[in-house]
A and B are shown apart, each in its own frame.
Chain A
Amino acid sequence: MVWTPRWFHRLVTIVRPNRLQRDLEDELLFHIEARTRDNIAAGMPPEEARLAALRLFGNRTLMAERMRDADINRSADALFRNLRYAARVLFRSPGFSMVVVLSMALGIGANTAVFSLLNAVVLKTLPVTNPEELVILEAHVKSAGGERTALDWHRDLRNFQTHAAQYVELFTSSRTSAVTTLNNQVEQIPVGLVSGNFYSVLGIRPFRGRLIDRGDDSERNPQLVAVLDYGFWRGRLGGDPAVTNRTIVLNGVSFSIVGVTPEGFFGTSLAPPTPVIIPVQTEARLEDGESFRAIEGRLRPGVSRQQAASVLTSIFQSSEPHRNDVIVLKNNSRGEYSDRERFEKPLYVLMGGVTLVLLIATANVAGLLLARGAARRREISIRLALGASRAAIARQFLTESLVIAFAGGALGIALAYGAAGALVAMVGPAAVGLDVRPDARVLAFTCATTVMTGLLFGLFPVMQARGTTLNPSLKEGVGIVGRRPRQIARRALVIAQIALSLVLLSGAVLFTRSLSNLRSFDSGFDRHGVLLASFDADYRYSKDRRYQIQNDVLQRVRSIPGVEFAGVASTPVLSAGEYSTGLKVSGQAPCRTSMTIASPGYLETMRMRLVAGRLFEETDNQVGAPHTVIVNQEIVRRCFGSMNPVGMNVQAGFGVNAEIIGVVTDAKYRNLREDTLPMYYIPPRSVHPFGLVLHVRTAFDPRAAVEPIRRALREVDPAVPLADVRTLEDQSEQSVLQDRLLTSMSKTFSIVALALAVIGLYGVLAFTVAQRTNEIGLRLALGAQRRQIGQLVLSESAFMMLVGSALGFAGALAGQRLIQGLLFGVGPSDLWSLLTAVGVMASIALCATLIPAAEAVRIDPISALRHD
């Protein structure tokens, strides 16, 4: 025989209540039959025997109930029944259900998408053990807030490693690029450089073979070994299992491949992983200069950041006399991400905006549920009359709301998956290293959001049902001017929607204005009509030849028809980097300035205006001629005060003694928001750099110059590729990425919010008109003007608009203060933006009002009075 377990009974009880019922009946019937048989055996007449047996049971239904109660977990059963009922109710009106589920999916999906991005940029920690112990080292002038200064990578790192080993384990990683041949094709690939303890300190185990260790990275005898990134090994080398027997040639040097990194590990910065990683001490073998190396570390257990920092600071300061810079340890648990700072605040603002959208969607769904609740008053009354408890009805309504919320949440996650990808695409190159796939934190966020919104909009129908009384509801619809439900809750919800939409809309207007200010204000150079490109011969060329190629290319480009000016410069503007060197006038303290290496033609290309003296000429860039520099007005203000600097001799960067030959206007260099930097320009031949960026001003669309330039380069040397082709406008657009993100997202949010608010407004008005059909008919029959009927609807709409706008106005003013730091050229409490928002809102609301108003006006008194 089979003894079924308890849980099975419980399950059967819940899932198949009918079967349970039959079992109970059977069990009791068996008992009665057995008793009857015994009674007959004892000599009773059959009929009496049966009745006697039945009598013993008393109230059989009651007993069956009691048995059932004992059998089942009541709440689970009730939940299941509620779920089934909720599903049936939702399926009965598929149109309604689709609208509410889609509203929630939109709200929750948008929230999940923005949160995924926020998570990837701000919250997520590196996939290593105890990421909170990771730090990154910075030296600052005097105090933590002071300007950053450079660390001597070789000497200081070794010094720290010997003297502070019990506080922090220091390691380093950086990236460079090298030429290699892959599948018979020459290409330049990014190469990672790590110190020998990098993998062991981070606790990373190899996927295959081994990783780089201390032995490989010895200073005296570095090993030519390489580790491959998992994705590169899978994607480009087909996951070759024998890869550890192979070698890879980088800049002509052969490295033996010793292993593959584990999947999902990408180093300590959120940049795209480097395909190949080699010991940092082997970088010299690539013969391509030294990359910038960050000093990173992992704190020993129990050591605080401040503690380790003060130890490092004292080591640093005592290593050399007169050194008073301070070492600061920054938390690096999330990994290095150069764009984190500029995206962090905008992302929080977007999160706030998208939360408002969700609130509006929630209010909309609540309004729809209330409207349907009004239609369900009879159903509730009947259920109350049949003895359902109010708590049971409340539970039922709440279950329905949660079913809607969860359906919306599930769909929302699917939407978010696509939307997060679209967001990353919108952010472009700055987001390439980001992993926005939903992780546990994102899912927890979505679940919490889903439950909270479900409870929030579920509350409204519950409150409404609580107010339902037995009697009047059953009689409802009989009288003409009888007491109507006043829809206070629905109106409040519409008002809230209008107010919140207004907040979003004014934000969108502000961001749009701010972005257009950024795009159009005078940045000191002309952003239009300039093409940027890089071309650099690689390690296979001699330095003289590389320099020669640069000059020849410039010559040829200048002769292309339509090219007005051309020049090369060390860093293009708005690319967030420039040399930082001093400018020293003999007998004075050095003046802290920035430097751009710029050939003749660069300043003309940028249309920076000459204020005094002259611009560079070809002779300034010729070997043997006296060194010259040009300064901007900010340098004159900071370093020369009232003196005219033209003709003065100064010591520029790299120890070059030069004459100031001119002064140009100030411009924005790193980004459009910065305070003006003191900047001077020096011709390339004075400092001999490589890899300068080509700047070309054209009389036509700069993109049309790409092919002629490519041809010119081919004529000079067919083996040198043209890379990184973009216009200065592209560069400028990249630099205002966060503003574009805020603008386009806030616009999208506002459109969704407006649409939802208008649907809500329309719903309430249309419902009111439908409800008052009899009353309006009666009024018309008694001689009311149609105009007055129209005014009735308009005034209701106007009331909600006014209250909503007033509240929204206050909210928008408060919101403006929060986003002030992200705006450009837009003052606090900008009334113009607010009024624009109100105007847009009001005109759309008017459209939503006209339809129900027209309907009310068209009501025919005769048929209206006959109507129910």
Chain B
Amino acid sequence: MARNGVLQGTLDLLVLKTLHSLGPVHGYGIVTHIHSVSDNVLRVEEGSLYPALHRLEQAGLVASSWQLSDTSRRARFYQLTARGRRELKSEEENWEAVTAAVTRVLQYS
């Protein structure tokens, strides 16, 4: 999981969102994207990412294929499926609801 105390279960959301914004991308691309977009706050652990990707693939949310990377190396690329897009949408809404609720709790004084 993310080192900086990101809530459990958010890894899938981050991965799906990343695939949504970037299109087909390999695992390493996902790590660097999340790292840089979160201003170096969120670090996805490799040990969690790959099992998660494979799990998402078996759940039919992402699909994979072997392609050549920009460095001309064979790499496995992932992309969202239609089901993945739907899942992302509901996960996003869920996340909004939870964070809003957490914010309200924190602001209560």
**A→B interface (CB under 8 Å):** 1-6, 9-10, 23, 26-28, 30-31, 33-35, 37-38, 56-59, 63, 66-67, 69-71
User: How far, in whole Å, are A5 and B63 apart by their CA atoms in the complex?
Assistant: 7
Contact B54 A4 (CB under 8 A): no
Once the chains are docked, how many angstroms separate the CA of A5 from the CA of B47? 25
Q: Within the complex, which residue of A4, A6, A66, A67 is in contact with B65, where a contact is CB–CB below 8 Å?
A: A4
Which of A10, A30, A37, A58 is within 8 Å of B74, CB to CB?
Answer: A30
> Chain A: which residue is nearest B27 at the CB level?
A31
- Residue pairs across A and B with Cβ atoms less than 8 A apart, 18 shown, are A3-B63, A3-B65, A5-B63, A6-B60, A23-B66, A27-B27, A27-B76, A30-B69, A30-B73, A30-B75, A31-B31, A34-B69, A37-B71, A57-B46, A58-B46, A59-B47, A70-B54, A71-B58
CB within 8 Å for A56 and B28 given contacts A4-B65, A6-B58: no
Contact status of A3 and B69, CB under 8 A, knowing A30-B76, A63-B51, A67-B50: no
- Known contacts: A3-B65, A6-B58, A67-B51. The answer to whether A34 contacts B28 by CB under 8 A is yes
| B46-A31 in contact (CB<8A) | yes
A30: chain B residues within 8 A (beta carbon): 26-28, 69, 73-76
Partner of A70, one of B32, B47, B58: B58
Contact (Cβ within 8 A) B45 A27 = no
Establish whether residues A1 and B76, one from each chain, have CB atoms under 8 Å apart when the complex forms: no
Determine the residue in chain A with the shortest Cβ distance to B74: A26
Q: Of A4, A6, A56, which one neighbours B45 at CB under 8 angstroms?
A: A56
Given contacts A1-B67, A1-B77, A31-B27, 10 further A-B contacts (CB under 8 A): A2-B65, A3-B64, A5-B63, A27-B50, A30-B28, A30-B75, A56-B46, A63-B50, A70-B55, A70-B58
- Say how far B5's CB is from chain A's closest CB, in angstroms: 19
Judged by a CB distance under 8 angstroms, whether B18 is at the interface is no
Determine the interface band of chain B, counting residues with CB < 8 A from chain A.
20 to 34
- Which of B26, B54, B73, B74 counts the most A-chain CB atoms under 10 A from its CB? B54
Roughly how many angstroms separate A70 CA and B50 CA in the complex, as a whole number? 10
Across-interface contacts of B47 in A (CB, < 8 A)? 56-59, 63
Chain A residues whose C-beta falls within 8 Å of the C-beta of B54 in the assembled complex: 67, 70-71
A464 to chain B, nearest CB (A): 38
Cβ of B92 within 8 Å of any chain A Cβ, yes or no, is no
Interface residues of B (CB under 8 A from A): 24, 26-28, 31-32, 45-47, 50-51, 54-55, 57-58, 60, 63-67, 69, 71, 73-77, 79
Report Cα–Cα, A222/B24, bound state, in Å.
81
Contact A4 B63 (CB under 8 A): yes
Complex Cα distance A58/B47, Å?
A: 7
Min CB–CB distance A50 → chain B (angstroms):
14
Query: How far is the CB of A670 from the nearest CB of chain B, in Å?
Result: 73
When distances are taken between beta carbons in the complex, the residues of chain B under 8 Å from A59 are 47
Chain B's closest residue to A59 (CB) is B47
Interface SS of B by simple majority: mixed
C-alpha spacing A302/B47, complex, angstroms? 69
Cβ of A216 to closest chain B Cβ, rounded Å: 63
Contact partners of A23 in chain B: CB under 8 A: 66, 76
A34 surroundings in chain B (CB, below 8 A): 26, 28, 69, 71
Residues of B within 8 A of A71 (CB): 54, 57-58
Q: Count how many pairs of residues, one from A and one from B, have CB atoms less than 8 Å apart in the complex.
A: 77
Contacts of A1 in B (CB 8 A): 24, 65, 67, 77
Contacts A2-B65, A27-B75, A30-B73 given; does A35 touch B50 at CB 8 Å: no
B-chain residues with CB within 8 Å of residue A70 when the two chains form the complex: 51, 54-55, 57-58
- How far, in angstroms, from A830 to B67 measured CA to CA in the complex? 83
Find the residue from A10, A34, A35, A38 having the highest chain B CB count within 10 A: A34
Chain A residues with CB under 8 Å of B77's CB are 1
A161 and B60 CA atoms in complex are apart in Å by 65
Q: Which residue of B lies closest to A29 (CB)?
A: B73
- Note all chain A residues with C-beta closer than 8 A to B27: 27, 30-31
Q: How far is the CA of A63 from the CA of B50 in the complex (A)?
A: 8
A59–B58 CA distance with the chains assembled, in angstroms: 23
In the complex, which residues of chain B have a beta carbon less than 8 angstroms from the beta carbon of A66?
A: 51
Chain A residues with Cβ below 8 Å from B55 are: 70
CB distance from B47 to the nearest CB of A (A): 5
A388 smallest CB distance to B (angstroms) = 25
Please name the residue on chain B nearest to A55 by beta carbon. Answer: B46
A-B pairs, 9 with minimum CB distance:
A70-B54, A70-B55, A66-B51, A34-B28, A3-B63, A30-B75, A31-B28, A67-B54, A27-B76
> Residue on A with the closest CB to B81?
A3
A4 closest partner in B (C-beta): B65
Bound together, the chains give a CA A284 to CA B70 distance in angstroms of 96
B29 to chain A, nearest CB (A): 8
Complex contacts, A58 vs chain B, CB 8 Å: 46-47
Most chain A CB atoms below 10 A, which of B28, B63, B74, B77: B28
Complex formed: what's the CA distance from A66 to B46 in Å?
Answer: 12
Question: How far does the Cβ of A590 sit from chain B's closest Cβ, in whole Å?
Answer: 86
A22 → B minimal CB distance (Å): 11
A69 and B67 CA atoms in complex are apart in Å by: 24
Q: Which residues of A are found within 8 Å of B57, using beta-carbon distances?
A: 6, 9, 70-71
| A28 touches which of B24, B50, B67 (Cβ 8 Å) | B50
Chain B nearest CB from A471 CB (Å) reads 38
**Can you name the residue of chain A whose Cβ is closest to the Cβ of B67?**
A1
A71 to chain B: closest residue by CB: B54
**A70 to B32, alpha carbons, bound, how many Å?**
24
- Residues of the A chain whose Cβ atoms lie less than 8 Å from the Cβ of B69: 30, 34
Residues of B within 8 A of A67 (CB): 50-51, 54
The closest CB in chain B to the CB of A60 belongs to: B47
A59 to B73, CA, bound (A): 24
Q: A6 vs B51: C-alpha distance in the bound complex, in angstroms?
A: 15
Please report the C-alpha to C-alpha distance between residue A3 and residue B81 in the assembled complex, in whole angstroms.
10
The docked-state distance in angstroms from the alpha carbon of A1 to that of B57 is 17
Q: Give chain B nearest CB distance to A420 CB in angstroms.
A: 47
A45 to chain B, nearest CB (A): 21
Question: Is the Cβ of A35 less than 8 Å from the Cβ of B51?
Answer: no
